[in-house]
Structure 1
Amino acid sequence: MIVFFLAIAILITIKIIWVLCATSGQGSFDREKKEIIRRANYLTSMVCTSPQGLLDEMPSGIGEQFQGEWALYTCSMTSAALANIAILYPPNKELSIKFIDQIIDIAMSEEIREYDKLRWREDPMDGIYGNLSHISYYSHLAWMISRYKQIGGDGKYDDLYHSLCKAMNRRIRKSKSLNLPTYPGEYIYIPDMLVAIVALANYSSQYEGKYSTTVDMWVERAKKEWIDKETGLVASFLEAYNDSVQIVLPVKGSYSALNCYYLSLVDSEFAKEQYDCLMKNYKQGFPFAGLKEYHDRTCLFGMDIDAGPIIFNLSPSGTAFTIGCAASLDDMEFRNKLLKTAEIGGSTVTWFGKSHYLLANLALVGEAIVLAMRTSAPQTRMRNK
């Protein structure tokens, strides 16, 4: 027993030292530059491969649909991280443009868009002038192109960008609720809709306000009609019912954090209100800083395809997305606490100019999400840059 407890004590001590060393340089974007660049080096080496190579990095046990979703999300979040890095550290701009270009090509491939084709029984590229939703695939691809252009990318994807945003805008405006389903026969997932709204907002800023009315209409409807009365947060799910939609419970921590992050890119005032509600209902400080998946019940151990393994109430993806909310809304103190939690759970390794969490070996998408979130500087700083 003495040997056993001694071994446990040694392991805990090693972990504490590991975390302290790994987080010693955190605290500001300037201090974290070296680590952020190393993590970008790792991500680009893993993501900028063949489309099938990227799909092979996704866990096989989650099935073909989620493999495709996770691969697209990895592309989307890696692109966001690289664009953020180009703005935070301008000497890296040309390299970011180069890699985002490669990632967009991968996201456009038949292999990646297969997950959406399987559900809609139509290739999203073939249906761009049709009426089926395809909102998940279109929105992420359009957002990637918008960030590519934001940091100085050329007009290589302009025709596709125009077509994607025109298609999304037409279908959103055609819907009486201004919402589209991710897949046929399923709920409306608000985070998926918000990617489309962010992409349209970026397009609007680049093309003289085009589609800004749609963005404003959607946000106003969200404020008035899709707020959960108990938490004050935008719903996670909506269900279409005749010509209207109804809120579907629960309001999940992971979805709410992602909603808040995307809103911070569109309406910072509304996002700040949502962030305050998020902190009131889902914030957890013990035993680790993070975000709970459920505000109204305890879940010491559980599993969720979107949140990940829930341990001591904490939602891994919810905690990661909250890093982005905190960073975008200038709550750097909580952002840094969340990064420490990420280190406790993830464990950073570094070699040959690359850094990543050991958990990236199991879920590369998590590595991409955390880097995109931690580099999401307040929007005032982004605009000033």
Structure 2
Amino acid sequence: MPASIGTQFQGEWALYSCSMLSASLVNISQLYPETKEENIQYIDSLINIVMSSELRYYDTMRWDEDPLESLDGDESHVSYLSHLAWMICGYKQIGGDSRYDKLLSSLCGTMNRRLLNCSALNLPTYPGESIYIPDMLVAIVALNQYADMNNGKYRSTVKKWIKRAQKEWIDKKTGLLVSFLQENGNQYDGVPVKGSYSALNCYYLTFIDETFAKRQYETLKSLFWKDGAISGLKEYYDRTCYLGLDIDAGPILFELSPSGTAFMTGSATYFNDNGTRNDILTTAEIAGHTVRLNNKRHYLLANVALVGEAIMLAMRTHFK
């Protein structure tokens, strides 16, 4: 990962590169069952990368304790733990063996306990910072997939979170899930909903509650979508930003959010919104520029941000 973004974001980008590639391989295994055995091996390798001390250092650094050596503790570590759990669920989903079963049980048990011990039913990604809803949703996805494989265990927590989300964490101006919450779980006043976060929220919701996900996607599209020579998702619905820089959204150009546009591909694919999906893929080609080498395709932009290529592969293959 680029050294210029610093240790924390290097770790986050590496984590997302691995988890999104893992999600891609699960999708590809369902689309092309003959690839399952090979993809199981790839996901196994990715899980081991994520479990390495080098990758999890970014989270250790922020919490002043190792996320895998403190599962009996009470600190959050929700982003790191949830992505790892989600990857193991994917490994199991396409036929992986039992080597990670004990770890997955511990990860999900820990996240469930920490969530229920918090009156806000949300956990911060890092100490002293806001609650980031997309990070929380990965935990809910992992718990929901664990419930699918374990007779509904932790499903009550998933349902409780979704119920509270629809009642308490909807932005009044847009009707979308908020991007951030205060540490106590309350909404902020005047903090805008971000297109990049909302698109990622919609993607994760497709794994949990299809009806809620569809409503959120349609609302997002009605407010944030921008048609044009280069179509895409705006980062802000109520203010103009022709040029900006955001570590999560990417370089905002002519109001468009690179990350938000990429994440929106997932829901457009899932809900068969082929017109929007095709427009996004055209924009991705203009921005990312595909090259073909040895019968393989690669976005040149991924030489700068590999995580973007992993995300686009996961989103492009997220068929229902």
TM-score calculated relative to the size of structure 1: 0.82
Contact 1:228 1:247 in 2 (8 A): no
- Provide the secondary structure at the position in 2 that maps to 1:213: helix
List runs of 5+ in structure 1 lacking aligned partners.
1-57, 379-385
2:25 aligned with 1:74? no
Q: Please state how far the C-alpha of 1:325 moved relative to its aligned partner.
A: 1.1
Residue by residue over 1:288-336, the C-alpha shift from the partner in whole angstroms, topping out at 9 and shown as x without a partner, is 2210000011111111000001111110000000000111222122112
Inter-partner Cα distance in structure 1 for 2:5 and 2:247: 8
- Could you list the per-position Cα deviations for residues 51-103 of structure 1 after superposition, in whole angstroms to 9, with x for gaps in the alignment? xxxxxxx1111000100010011000000001100001111111111100000
SS of 1:245 mapped into structure 2: coil
TM-superposed deviation, 1:247: 3.5
The match for 2:82 is 139
- TM alignment of 1:222-301, pairs within 5 A: 222-241=165-184, 244-247=185-188, 249-301=191-243
Task: Kindly indicate whether residue 255 of structure 2 is the aligned counterpart of residue 313 of structure 1.
Answer: yes
What does residue 88 of structure 1 align with?
31
Q: Does 2:95 align with 1:152?
A: yes
Within-5 A mapping of 1:157-236: 157-236=100-179
Amino acid at match of 1:121: D
What secondary structure, in the 3-state scheme, does the structure 1 residue paired with 2:181 have? strand
1:358 aligns with 2:300: yes
Task: Give distance in 2, aligned partners of 1:280 and 1:255.
Answer: 16
Distance 1:193 1:353 in 2: 38
279-288 or 363-372: which moved more? 279-288
Could you tell me how far apart the structure 1 residues matched to 2:272 and 2:161 are?
A: 25
For residues 101-116 of structure 1, the aligned pairs below 5 Å read 101-116=44-59
RMSD over equivalenced CA pairs, Å: 0.8
Task: Measure, in 1, the Cα distance between the counterparts of 2:222 and 2:173.
Answer: 11
**1:124-164 Cα deviation digits (max 9, x unpaired):** 01111110000011000000000110011111110100000
> What is the deviation of 1:352?
1.3
Q: Which position in structure 2 is the counterpart of 1:42?
A: none
Q: 1:368 deviation in Å?
A: 0.1
Q: Distance in 1 between matches of 2:263 and 2:48?
A: 26
- Report the 3-state secondary structure (helix = DSSP H, G, I; strand = E; otherwise coil) of the residue aligned with 2:114: helix
Q: What is the DSSP-based 3-state SS (H/G/I as helix, E as strand, rest coil) of the residue aligned with 1:132? A: coil
* Contact persistence 2:129–2:183 (CA under 8 A): no
TM-score (norm 2): 0.98
**1:333-372 matches, cutoff 5 A:** 333-372=275-314
Q: Distance in 1 between matches of 2:50 and 2:292?
A: 28
